[in-house]
A and B are shown apart, each in its own frame.
Chain A
Amino acid sequence: MQSVGKSVRRVDAVAKVRGMADYVDDIFVKDMLQAKVFRSTIANGRVKKLDVSRARALPGVVVVVTYEDVPKHTFPTAGHPYSKDPKHQDVADRRLLTDRVRYYGDEIAAVVAVDELTAVKALRLIDVEYEQYEPILTAEAALIDGAVEIHEGTKNIIARSEYQLGDWEEALAQADEIFEDEFSTSTVQPCALENHGAYAYMDASGRVVVCTSTQIPHICRRVVGQALGIPWGRVRVIKPCVGGGFGSKQDVVVEPLVAFLTTVVGGRPVKLVLTREETFIASRVRHAIHFKFKTGVKKDGAIVARQLEAVSLNGGYASHGHAIVDNSGEKYRHLYDQLAIKFAATTVYTNMPAAGAMRGYGIPQVMFALDCHMEDIARALRLDPLDFRLKNLNKTGYTDPILGITVRSNGLPECIAKGRRLIRWDEKKAARRQQSGPKRRGLGMACFCYTAGTYPLNLEIAGARIVMNQDGSVQLQVGAVEMGQGSDTVFSQMAAETLGIPVDMVHLISEQDTEITPFDTGAYASRQTYISGMAVKKAAAEIKDKVLRHCGLMTGISPQSLDIADAWVVDHKGARVMPLAEVALDGYYNLACAAPFTADVTNSATTNPLSYGCTFAEVEVDLATGKVKVLEIYNVHDSGKIINPQLADGQVHGGVSMGLGYALYEQMIFDPATGEPLNNNLLDYKLMTAADTPEIGPAFVETDEPTAPYGNKSMGEPPVMSPAPAVRNAILDATGVKFNQLPMNPHRLFERFKAEGLI
């Protein structure tokens, strides 16, 4: 291949290194007003009295809006495609502003002022009295009979689901040993460097225009329409450059409120950019999930029965809701084999920040639990942990009876073999028998599987549009969103590949506008290279077809025997016929049959491949202080054919770094009595700095996925899925202590080491 598979320079790198990439807050709009949200200082309760008169009177304040001024209806916020089936629609439990407070920081009122400082000072002039209820901060508290309902009529349950395959009792009876264990993961936050922000104004015809940092422009448009109760066609969403998302922007967070506020101030532009402290609690967090396993195994290591019960904490509002833990249940089923399997999950409301999508969507959680559980079983049975996993993996050809998807490429065994070599697993294991010093070293690994997109559970469509210029170069528009992962570059490569032109003749229009950008549900589920990529391929193929037909008209040569290579039309022998530019020019200006070459296509996905990977980690544990140093870490991925190796490396670097943060450093901490967030800032929330991050080694095993546009599978989320269990297993190897809870920070290690007598 000419472009696909090459480490082509990012198409947006130059703009970004020059400081020329415009993010929401960089865009200058005349007469822009600034909004700030008045947030609750209790976690559960109701506003009894609200006095905004002093705030309204402050010079520079344009308007103060409260829950009494907003529509009464509720709307959903999740970045899922709309479903025509009411049973499949997202939970609509948000109001623009609320008097029923459901988490510390909930949105009660909004101030619009001439500048930010005035708005901040106005917030201080708002007086509020609450009727307080006991904050519900655990699943147990949420599910107690008679507990205060966070949302009326729900008994604090968003949803429950379960599945079962095979004959459970019969399978369990075949087990030589049964293992039961529990694991808990933590609440962490995506921490994209660009805080959530948007501005909105009304154009001359009264349509609401929202410019926002979003992963989902088209879905955002629909939700703003729903929130305001206006036809979706009266809303326009613009996406400029996005400074990271990691799932927190696969949700409609600030847009409905700014859209509403602009209607209140006569269409004047209103901007709302969250502070870092607000982004932590008022955007989205990762679901903390509690897992309970029961696994029946034969002594030779064959798993016969697997059961998982999971409880997922969703916070005060549904957002993506139960879909996360359902996803956990899905990949739990996909990775390993058994005779019978049972899964049951519940997602509950709590008085905490809303949990939504975050890179991995339930899989970093379940893979932590699952692959730690697998490790423990292997050790208990005295089996090699790698062989135990390999023995029970689902192989190529596996078809999931519930979703109907089939595995056509599976490089996981090769990934495991490669990781084992890279970290010198066998050599180090052999050298390290008994350790006795104050620092202990250990090796651990873990694996995962993932899908590309959400077929068949949800609609999976993607649009792409290509227009060829007179000189043979093209504009490419996709509805898929660039948020740093490199999708703009990868699509440019794909279009170039199929068109037969150099990448620099493809100009991908990065800024999106729902008025003109093709429909696509957006950047999530690691779907874009697989699904939107196929749309790009189709569009490019259509353009190429039109070019060759037109060239056929110009030359009399049959289009079937023509091709395009390196921006030249060539014949079946590869000999040059004419420059592509000549055909393109003629396409524009031929007096008899001008028709500029354009293509506007939709891809609808009906397949979903599994991608795989593993992490191998070596740690050194300082027993006395509980600090863990990661000495070596490798992630080996089967993501099919790698479209851009440098970008793929980058995804692994970032995902592993996020996975290490998940394993060792990060957690959101709340006051157990009041639910007040204690560490919603970048000092107390321990995001790793360069000084904390070890060298990260990405590696790939390239399979060729036949259902993909270029053999590719999901790459964006996978890297964050297996570092945490690999590090936990390495700590276990080093110290003999099992940690079944995240994060494995020095405090926790100290407590356990003390309890186990290691120190």
Chain B
Amino acid sequence: MITKKINCTVNGRQVSIEVDIRASLLDVLRDSLHLTGVKKGCAVGECGACTVLINGEPYDSCIYLAVWADGQVINTIEGECKEGRLSKVQQAFVDEGAVQCGFCTPGLIMSTTAMLQSGKKFTREEIKAELSGHMCRCTGYQNIIKAAQKALED
């Protein structure tokens, strides 16, 4: 087993870890760091369930090699609730009925969080485009878009 040492920040904490060169970031987050909020839905970057933020931008962690995480700032769903308080995006998802089975939820919250953190304004169509890399079978995306709109409003 060939490993490489990476140093990165995960949810605000410094992490120094030997990763298998074969591992995806998804593998390392879930299996080594026990951040199981990041989900595997397809393993090929189609469904978005594994979406995490890397330097503030959304990536499919299933097709992102763990070795690439060296020097990066990574945020997963587990880091969003701070001191027991849900983030604005998390609260919006709760309030707007945007959660059903919950499997796609963490990824969508991360992409929505990236939108919020960007400081930009998004029309409804632009929100749909920004969230178009996520698949959901339960909600028809309706309340997810409502939640994103709510989180993005001032």
B40 cross-chain contacts in A, Cβ below 8 A: 25, 195
Known: A18-B37, A193-B49, A682-B47. A484 touches B86 (CB 8 A): no
**Distance between A494 CB and nearest chain B CB, rounded to angstroms:** 19
Known: A18-B80, A190-B137, A191-B137. A275 touches B100 (CB 8 A): no
B105 cross-chain contacts in A, Cβ below 8 A: 16-17
A690 in contact with B36 (CB, 8 Å): no
Most A Cβ at <10 Å: residue of B80, B102, B139: B102
Within 8 A of B (CB), among A2-38: 7, 9-10, 12-23, 25-26, 28
Alpha-carbon gap, A388 to B137, bound state (A) = 34
Most A Cβ at <10 Å: residue of B36, B43, B44, B140: B140
Most B Cβ at <10 Å: residue of A244, A682, A689, A690: A690
Question: A275's contact among B43, B78, B81, B128, by CB below 8 Å, is which?
Answer: B43
**Distance between A251 CB and nearest chain B CB, rounded to angstroms:** 17
CB of A656 closer than 8 Å to a CB of B: yes
B140 in contact with A656 (CB, 8 Å): yes
Alpha-carbon gap, A609 to B41, bound state (A) = 37
B97 in contact with A649 (CB, 8 Å): yes
CB of B152 closer than 8 Å to a CB of A: no
Binary A-proximity of B73-110 (CB < 8 A = 1, otherwise 0): 00011101100001000100111010111111110010
Within 8 A of A (CB), among B7-60: 22, 30, 34-44, 46-47, 49
**Distance between A737 CB and nearest chain B CB, rounded to angstroms:** 27
**Distance between A301 CB and nearest chain B CB, rounded to angstroms:** 35
Alpha-carbon gap, A25 to B38, bound state (A) = 11
CB of B116 closer than 8 Å to a CB of A: no
A13 in contact with B94 (CB, 8 Å): yes
A102 cross-chain contacts in B, Cβ below 8 A: none
**Distance between B53 CB and nearest chain A CB, rounded to angstroms:** 13
Most B Cβ at <10 Å: residue of A14, A246, A654: A654
**Distance between A720 CB and nearest chain B CB, rounded to angstroms:** 11
CB of A485 closer than 8 Å to a CB of B: yes
A483 cross-chain contacts in B, Cβ below 8 A: 101
CB of A192 closer than 8 Å to a CB of B: yes
Chain B minimum-CB-distance residue to A649: B97
Report the count of interface residues on B (CB-CB < 8 A).
53
Chain B minimum-CB-distance residue to A652: B140
Question: B101's contact among A19, A20, A192, A658, by CB below 8 Å, is which?
Answer: A192
A693 cross-chain contacts in B, Cβ below 8 A: 128, 140-142
Chain B minimum-CB-distance residue to A682: B46
Within 8 A of B (CB), among A198-248: 241-244, 246
Chain A minimum-CB-distance residue to B42: A276
CB of A267 closer than 8 Å to a CB of B: no
Interface size class of A (residues with CB under 8 A): 35 or more
B90 in contact with A17 (CB, 8 Å): yes
CB of A140 closer than 8 Å to a CB of B: no
Alpha-carbon gap, A485 to B100, bound state (A) = 6
Most B Cβ at <10 Å: residue of A276, A655, A656, A681: A276
Question: B90's contact among A18, A276, A484, by CB below 8 Å, is which?
Answer: A18
Known: A657-B141, A691-B128, A695-B142. A682 touches B38 (CB 8 A): no
B36 in contact with A26 (CB, 8 Å): yes
CB of B132 closer than 8 Å to a CB of A: yes
B99 in contact with A243 (CB, 8 Å): no
Alpha-carbon gap, A687 to B48, bound state (A) = 13
B46 in contact with A683 (CB, 8 Å): yes
Question: B94's contact among A9, A244, A655, by CB below 8 Å, is which?
Answer: A9
B142 cross-chain contacts in A, Cβ below 8 A: 649-650, 653, 693, 695-696
Alpha-carbon gap, A26 to B40, bound state (A) = 10
CB of A536 closer than 8 Å to a CB of B: no
A19 in contact with B76 (CB, 8 Å): yes
Chain B minimum-CB-distance residue to A483: B101
Secondary structure at chain A's binding surface: helix, strand, loop or mixed? loop
A20 cross-chain contacts in B, Cβ below 8 A: 37
Alpha-carbon gap, A15 to B99, bound state (A) = 10
Chain B minimum-CB-distance residue to A9: B94
Chain A minimum-CB-distance residue to B47: A682
Question: A682's contact among B42, B90, B131, B138, by CB below 8 Å, is which?
Answer: B42
Alpha-carbon gap, A690 to B34, bound state (A) = 30
A655 cross-chain contacts in B, Cβ below 8 A: 140
CB of B67 closer than 8 Å to a CB of A: no
B132 in contact with A689 (CB, 8 Å): yes
Known: A193-B47, A650-B138, A695-B142. A484 touches B100 (CB 8 A): yes
CB of A758 closer than 8 Å to a CB of B: no
Question: B135's contact among A28, A485, A658, A682, by CB below 8 Å, is which?
Answer: A682
B99 in contact with A194 (CB, 8 Å): no
CB of B136 closer than 8 Å to a CB of A: yes
Known: A20-B37, A21-B102. A654 touches B140 (CB 8 A): yes
Alpha-carbon gap, A190 to B99, bound state (A) = 18
Chain B minimum-CB-distance residue to A191: B137
Alpha-carbon gap, A486 to B106, bound state (A) = 18
Alpha-carbon gap, A647 to B86, bound state (A) = 21
B139 cross-chain contacts in A, Cβ below 8 A: 650, 653-654, 657
CB of A58 closer than 8 Å to a CB of B: no
B97 cross-chain contacts in A, Cβ below 8 A: 7, 10, 646-647, 649-650
Query: 9 closest A-B pairs (Cβ-Cβ)?
Result: A19-B37, A484-B101, A657-B140, A16-B102, A243-B103, A19-B77, A653-B140, A26-B36, A484-B100
B: which residues have CB within 8 A of A?
Answer: 22, 30, 34-44, 46-47, 49, 76-78, 80-81, 86, 90, 93-95, 97, 99-106, 109, 128-129, 131-145
A: which residues have CB within 8 A of B?
Answer: 7, 9-10, 12-23, 25-26, 28, 117, 190-195, 241-244, 246, 275-276, 483-486, 646-647, 649-650, 653-658, 681-683, 687, 689-691, 693, 695-696
Interchain Cβ contacts under 8 Å between A and B, 30 examples: A7-B97, A10-B94, A10-B97, A13-B94, A14-B94, A17-B102, A19-B37, A19-B78, A22-B36, A192-B101, A192-B137, A193-B49, A193-B138, A194-B101, A242-B101, A243-B103, A276-B44, A483-B101, A484-B101, A485-B100, A649-B143, A650-B138, A657-B137, A682-B41, A682-B47, A683-B44, A689-B132, A689-B133, A689-B135, A690-B134
